[in-house]
A and B are shown apart, each in its own frame.
Chain A
């Protein structure tokens, strides 16, 4: 005979509100059930990454301002960084650690790395899922242009299938970064659009709402390899790309789509 255990589940929308109230100096955390769900979904991404040959890269909590300057971060997002004292910043994305690690190297073969970081951004928009503090797992791909593009396609196929297996209602859309505005920035947006440099996996949280981007699949061409001077063995510039997962967003859409109780049981059963 099986017994049904009552589970008091964190309400996902309450969790979302708590995350949106985040302010510098105040660390927000998910409740225990949503944290477990985010940890479970991350364990799946890590498993996929290891299976695909990625090396796990442990990263520190902070990132130096000089790394972000070298990456050109302040040129694109001058106001969004959260600075700490003594030259350290909260990372705005996990992958910057990886480019710093690769700086000055020559790659004898294409490679992939994965890391997870607690990221912070001074977002000025108030909209569902736009968080100021969030956990991000990324897979960074480095190799020839063709290899990186092919790998990105494999990751899009893999994650789309995974999301559908969880009954999420998702779509894979070409995207551009929302911060691009007028003038030359519009040109960057259009080039990104023409070249298909960015795709987002968007999940519907309900029948009427705007779908929420839960993962992105990006090609950087030689943007980072030139700035961080990592090359292929033949001396040519390496190309890079990244796949990013917003873990709170994944947990939220799972909880909202499946219902919190069923979503948490999914994670709980996997852990048995």
Chain B
């Protein structure tokens, strides 16, 4: 679980967040204060799909599954 969490955090901090002064932590709310916007979310979803080996249907893309990195890994890691 922590491997997946670290991998996802590395991707978000290394590839998605261009502002080097802002680093996401495991429990950072990703959709507040503009951390993840409408462009970054597509890359984020594509990356998670690669991690879990399946497509994520739109109905599953809701706040309770995407609030933080920890939540994402708990939800999709259990599939």
Interface residues of A (CB under 8 A from B): 174, 184, 186-188, 190-191, 193-196
Contacts and interface: CB of A to CB of B under 8 A. Distances in A.
B58 A191 contact: no
Contacts of B52: none
Contacts of B31: 191, 194-195
Interface of B: 31, 36-42, 45, 58, 61-63, 66
B42 A193 contact: no
Contacts of B61: 190, 193-194
18 contacts: A184-B39, A184-B42, A186-B42, A187-B37, A187-B40, A187-B41, A190-B38, A190-B41, A190-B45, A190-B58, A191-B31, A193-B61, A193-B62, A194-B61, A194-B62, A194-B66, A195-B31, A196-B63
A189 to B, nearest CB: 8
Contacts of B40: 187
A28 to B, nearest CB: 35
Given A193-B58, A195-B31, A188 B63 contact: no
A187 B66 contact: no
B42 A187 contact: yes
A194 B58 CA distance: 10
A188 B58 CA distance: 12
B62 A187 contact: no
Nearest to B56: A190
Nearest to A221: B34
A194 B42 CA distance: 13
Contact of A184 (B38, B45, B66): B38
Nearest to B30: A194
Nearest to A176: B58
B65 to A, nearest CB: 9
Leading 6 A-B pairs by shortest Cβ distance: A187-B38, A188-B38, A187-B42, A191-B38, A187-B41, A194-B63
A238 B38 CA distance: 21
Nearest to A196: B63
A64 B39 CA distance: 31
Contacts of B41: 187, 190-191, 194
A184 B41 CA distance: 9
Q: Residue among B38, B62, B66 with the most chain A CB within 10 A?
A: B38
Nearest to B59: A193
